[in-house]
Structure formats: C-alpha cells, structure tokens
Amino acid sequence: MPETGVVRGVRMGSGLSGHLDPFTAAKQVAEQAAADLDGSQGVDLCLLFASAHHARVLGGLGEIIAKTLSPRRLVGVTTESVIGGRVELERQPGVSLLAASLPGVRLHGFDEALLGPADPANPEQVAVVGGAIGASDDLRCTLVFADAFSVPVLNTLPGLCAARRRDRDGRPIGSIFGGVVSGGRGPGQNALLIDGVVKRSGAVGVSIAGPVRVDTVVSQGCRPIGPNLLVTRSKRNVVFELGGRPAVEVVREVVESLDERGREQVKRGLFVGRVVNEYKERFGRGDFLIRNVAGADEATGAIALGDSVRTGQTVRLHVRDAATADEDLALLLDAQKLHARPAGALLVTCNGRGSGLFGRPGHDAQAVSRAFAPERAGEERAKGGAPIEPAGGSVPLAGMFGAGEIGPVGDESFLHGFSACVALFRDPAP
C-alpha cells in the first residue's frame, strides 16, 4: 500500500478501483484509504471522483464511502477520467478517493446556491460570497468543482478570489483550487455530490481552515520564447500593437528567430503569457498566465487571445509540447522538495494531457509520485538499476481530468487549460 507521509497530525489515504461494478469499486477505494490512514483519529474530509459511467449512482457511491469512513465532509464529482496513486484511468470506468484526517481543522461545505453573482468591486456582494465559502483569517484553501454548463466559471472566479480576507500586508489569505467537471457532454449529464446531496448542475466545494498547510503547484506546461513585450494598443482580447509595432509583425519576427525545434512547436500552437504581477522586478516561470492565440489579422496587424489583455501589460510568447510540459511540471515539483514531504496530494489535470499529449497514460500522476518518493539509501543507489516504485505511488494521491483547471498564479486563481494543478497537504510549520 502507498506510504502515508505523516509528519505530525495531518494524515491522508487514497484509493483507486477500475472494477466495473461501481458499488464494489466504492467499497474497494474506501478500504484502501482506510488502510493508508491506519487507525487515524477519525476521517474529516473525503474527495470522491467517479468516471462518467457511474454518474447515475454517484449518490450511492457516496453512501458507501460515508458508511465505511464516516467523514465530516464528503465532496464528489463525475469526471471523464479518474486518477489514483500513479495511475490515470483514461476514459475507463473508475472510482478514486482521497481521504484526510485533519485534527483541529475546520471544514466549511458549500454549493453555488450560496454564492450568487459577485462583482469584485461591490463590497456587499463580495461579503456574501465570503460568508458562503467560510472565508477566515486562517483559511488555507477553498476547493471548488463546477459544472461548466450551468456555472460561468470565468465570471465566478474573480468574486471568489475577492471574497478572501487579507493579511497585514494586504495579500489574500488562502488559495482557490479545483476544476471544471468533465463527466458530461451536455447540461444535466454531470453529477456533483456534497454531504449526501446529489446535484446535476452548479458547483460544490469545501473550505479548509486551521492547522494544515496547503501548497499548490500550477504547471501550465509552456516554454517562453522571445523577449518580454509591452502591449501598447489593445481592446478587450485583441492586441493591435506590441512595443509600438503591429502585433503580427512582432510575433512573426520571434517565430522566425527560433530554431527548427521551436518552429515545430509553434505549429502545434502559439500562446501568450501575460504577467500577473507587474510590480515584480523580474518575471520568470510561474509569473505568466498562459492564454492561447486564437487568431491573427494581417490587414490590421492584430492578434486575438483567449482572454482579455490591457494596454500597458507585459506579455511573452510561449510554446507547448510534451517535452516542455514534462520539464515544467518536474521543475515546479522539485521546488516543493524543499518543504516537508506531503501527507497527500490532489491532482486536477487537463483532459487534453494524458496519453493524448505524452503518448502514454499516467504521466502527471507518476511525476507527482516520483517527486516525493523516499530517498534510497546510499548502499541501495550504489547497486544500480532502476528502482521499483510502489504501484500506488509514494504519497496518497487522487484526482480527476478536468475540462478546465482552477489554480493560483501569484495571489489570484484563474481558469486554466492544458495545465496540471496539484494541491499538497502538509502539517503546518512548527
């Protein structure tokens, strides 16, 4: 069984089953998670993910989880593909579970009916959302899973982000993390579960506050090309000028300066990263919010992006392929090794990744597992050969393939595409 990675108080367990009978699968994942937890003092939170094959019985799966583990909070959604340990069950029947024992932690469940529309500039509306999600001075993370057919996620996220409280330096407290449910192809086909209540639309979530640390990794899987560029004329999502010159002309120059490999990457898609925090002296990995280039107009010299951009913002062109996506995720996970080994991980990855991008299933789950695998002793390393990793992974991990991923870049959270987002749960620093 996977190791639990416990330091002091936070303990987690995970389970994955591809059994064709969904109720048997639910029982199996509950038993696997219980074995990981190994007699922990109560289960506080369960996150349940079921493939679209099991949408009609999600409530029944939740009942089995609740009966076996008796969690204080249970959140579940259907998804195109489920993730557990080092395995990604792509478009196959599957159930995965992440269970957590979080001593002293407060859990505040909610659904979209409590949120309502919120203009970030309207204090009254923001206060309503803050109360709905349980915003507090010790908020660590708000997990939210939304149905794209009924929730305007792009318009909802700014209100959620604004609803968080601020610390003494004015920075928001806690992160917003989650994904867009991908189990259905039309309205009413997704299923969402919150504490025994099944919904066919909307959103469900839980806020986590108190003695736990939640770190997030957002790998947008892109490599920057060319120099930083200043937007000098734009309107909504259309950029007319970069550095005082027609945007199309500037883009063409950057592409023509690339080597053969770079030009091949551009053929697979060109992206623009806009700087999230213009007050930083230098911009590097993780400072850019990546958006696709949707089109270009030679007549006007303009390019259209998949998001709005303002005149005066700094942008940089990016490319994406399997190699850069692999490198980006590995580097971001390497940085997390500076901290204590996590007790568990929640992975939300794009349904455009997996074997479609990497040519094989399991890439992102295996990358997380590999990053936190225990160091082998010097004597073992000297023997040579490839070490055999435990089949379940090095830390308890579960998650889903999303139709959009929600995670922070800087202090704000955004809706991403083609990204891998990881939430890592640890004990708080002593």
Spatial CA neighbour of 1 closest among 32, 39, 46, 29:
32
At residue 30, does pLDDT exceed 90?
A: yes
Residues 6 or more apart in contact with residue 266 via CB below 8 angstroms: 225, 255, 258, 319
Residue 8 pLDDT: 53
pLDDT tens profile 220-271: 988 899 999 999 999 999 999 999 999 999 999 999 999 998 888 888 889 9
pLDDT tens profile 384-419: 554 545 556 689 999 999 999 999 998 999 999 889
DSSP 222-234: -EEEEEEEEEEEE
pLDDT tens profile 280-335: 778 877 789 999 999 999 999 999 998 889 999 999 999 988 888 999 999 999 99
Residue 392 pLDDT: 64
pLDDT tens profile 414-424: 999 889 999 99
Alpha carbons 35 and 217: distance in angstroms, whole number? 27
Give mean pLDDT, residues 346-353: 95
Spatial CA neighbour of 324 closest among 295, 373, 290, 369:
290
183: left (phi > 0), else alpha (psi -120 to 50), else beta?
alpha
Mean pLDDT (the chain) is 90
Report the run of H or E that residue 181 belongs to, with start and end: strand 175-181
Confidence of residue 118 (pLDDT cuts 50, 70, 90): confident
Q: Which residue has the higher pLDDT, 121 or 46?
A: 46
At residue 337, does pLDDT exceed 80?
A: yes
pLDDT tens profile 170-217: 999 999 999 999 988 899 999 999 999 999 999 999 999 999 999 999
Residue 7 pLDDT: 41
pLDDT tens profile 119-178: 898 999 999 999 999 999 999 999 999 999 999 998 899 999 999 999 999 999 999 999
Find tokens 């700094």 and name the residue: 314
What are the structure tokens assigned to 178, written together?
């989650």
Q: Which of 19-23, 321-325, 372-376 has the lowest mean pLDDT?
A: 372-376
Percent of the chain at pLDDT exceeding 90:
75
Q: E-assigned strands of 182-287?
A: 192-194, 197-199, 203-209, 213-219, 223-235, 238-242, 245-246, 270-275
Within 10 A of 124 (CB to CB), how many other CB atoms are there? Answer: 8
Residue 6 pLDDT: 39
Residue 3 pLDDT: 40
What is the residue type of 275?
Answer: V
Q: What separation in angstroms does the CA of 3 have from each of 14, 344, 429?
A: 10, 10, 21
Residue 404 pLDDT: 94
Residue 379 pLDDT: 56
pLDDT tens profile 79-97: 999 999 999 999 999 999 9
DSSP 107-118: EEEEEGGGT---
Q: What is the pTM of this model?
A: 0.90
User: Which is it for the CA torsion 327, 333, 335, 338, positive or negative?
Assistant: negative
At residue 4, does pLDDT exceed 50?
A: no
Let me know: does 118 contact 128? Beta carbons within 8 Å: yes
286: left (phi > 0), else alpha (psi -120 to 50), else beta?
left
φ, ψ for residue 339, nearest 5 deg? -100, 175
Residue 1 pLDDT: 35
Let me know: does 54 contact 193? Beta carbons within 8 Å: no
- Please count the CA atoms within 13 angstroms of the CA of 104 that sit on its side-chain side: 11
DSSP state of 57: G
Strand-strand pairing, 175-181 and 139-147: parallel
